[in-house]
Amino acid sequence: MLNHPSVRIMNEVWIEKYRPKDLSGIYGQDDAVRKLKAFVQSGQLPHIIFSGPAGTGKTASAMAVAMELFGETWKENFLELNASNNRGINVIRGHEDRDDKYEGMVSVKDYARIMPSNPRGFKIIFLDEADQLTSEAQAALRRTMEIYSSTTRFIFSCNYSSQIIPPIQSRCVILRFRPLSEAELRRKMFDIAKSEGFELSEESADAIADVSGGDMRNAINILQAAHFSGDISAMKIYDIAGMASSKEFERILAFSVEQQDFNQAMGMVDDLMMQKGLSGIDIVRGMHSAIRRSQTDPRRKIAVIIALAETEFRLVEGANEKIQLDALVARLVNAGSEIS
């Protein structure tokens, strides 16, 4: 039963199936892709830092660079390590320097020692989530980069390049990856739907772009989950993502700020928490996205954003969720009545 073709198809992970095989397949990072293509064309790859949010193409770009440089032998010349799994110095040190519990784990130093087996004269070490490495590990890594720079190129992936120590930053070209736009996410969703042979409505594509927050990996996962559930409606997509639609947040803002109806707005907030399981932070951030997109009076928009920021701060600090959301809606009603 496990070998049945339909089972294998259902178990196929789309984020791997549709991972770009070359740099031309990277969406929404034109500046970074242009520079990487120039490096590949010249055959001279510097050390690089990819900085940006999750799901924006950093890992895919590193793999695409390796594929274009080394062709079919790219896996033999490309080592990927996730720094967040082994944050300490042992992920950097060589075998003889490490504790027994790290026996059998490939380290950066172990791999850097190996001479490259390709005409390019170098291999690539890709350190994902490099900003999770401890300062001690990063200092050890800097020395490894110096010793093996002639035969090894390093590509670091991180959310914040400021978390990488300056000596490593100064040895690297920093390429910044931005969250993908809704148009870019929609284009990819329609491409996948066409490839898989099913119809994707404009409303559903908008919903995926709305909930994914510029994260392509998240968008593809949501699309696959919705497709395999047999329901690709916008409502199902919001349900899978565990989020409310932007229209619901817009209604809360309308009742509180424009109509000054505290009870109605608070009832909608309570419904999102009780019926849909959203947290206070989810509601605050959903309202923030909605107000940013709105065309309301600028003074009202400023007042709403300030109120949302204060509420988020209090929630993060551990304040009572119910009381803070009540206070938030009360401030929005008050702001609406004062600015009319």
| pLDDT tens digit sequence for 199-215 | 999 999 999 998 888 89
Q: Residue 340: pLDDT band by 50, 70, 90 thresholds?
A: low
Domain end point (choices 132, 155, 176): 176
Q: How high is the pLDDT of residue 91?
A: 62
Residue carrying the six token digits 């009202």 = 300
User: Does 231 lie in the same domain as 155?
Assistant: no
CATH number of the domain bearing residue 195 = 1.10.8.60
For 149-201, write each residue's pLDDT tens digit: 888 999 999 998 888 999 999 999 999 999 999 899 999 999 999 999 999 99
User: Does 167 lie in the same domain as 128?
Assistant: yes
Q: How high is the pLDDT of residue 215?
A: 92
Query: Residue 289: which domain range?
Result: 246-338
Q: How far apart are CA 86 and CA 81, in angstroms?
A: 9
Q: Is the distance from CB of 199 to CB of 233 less than 8 angstroms?
A: no
User: Does 92 lie in the same domain as 112?
Assistant: yes
Domain end point (choices 125, 149, 176): 176
User: Does 231 lie in the same domain as 199?
Assistant: yes
Domain end point (choices 176, 193, 212): 176
Q: How far apart are CA 164 and CA 156, in angstroms?
A: 9
User: Does 203 lie in the same domain as 169?
Assistant: no
Q: How far apart are CA 71 and CA 78, in angstroms?
A: 11
User: Does 131 lie in the same domain as 10?
Assistant: yes
User: Does 318 lie in the same domain as 208?
Assistant: no
User: Does 269 lie in the same domain as 150?
Assistant: no
For 241-280, write each residue's pLDDT tens digit: 878 888 899 999 999 988 899 999 999 999 999 888 889 9
Pick the more confident residue, 9 or 33.
33
Residue 116 pLDDT > 90: no
Count of domains forming the chain: 3
**Is the four-CA dihedral 236, 203, 193, 292 of positive or negative sign?**
negative
Q: How far apart are CA 47 and CA 174, in angstroms?
A: 9
Q: How far apart are CA 212 and CA 25, in angstroms?
A: 19
SS3 277: coil
User: Does 226 lie in the same domain as 273?
Assistant: no
User: Does 33 lie in the same domain as 107?
Assistant: yes
Q: What is the mean pLDDT of the chain?
A: 86
**Token output for 103:** 């026996």
For 127-146, write each residue's pLDDT tens digit: 998 888 888 888 888 888 88
CATH number of the domain bearing residue 290 = 1.20.272.10
User: Does 158 lie in the same domain as 71?
Assistant: yes
**Percentage of the chain modeled with pLDDT above 70:** 89
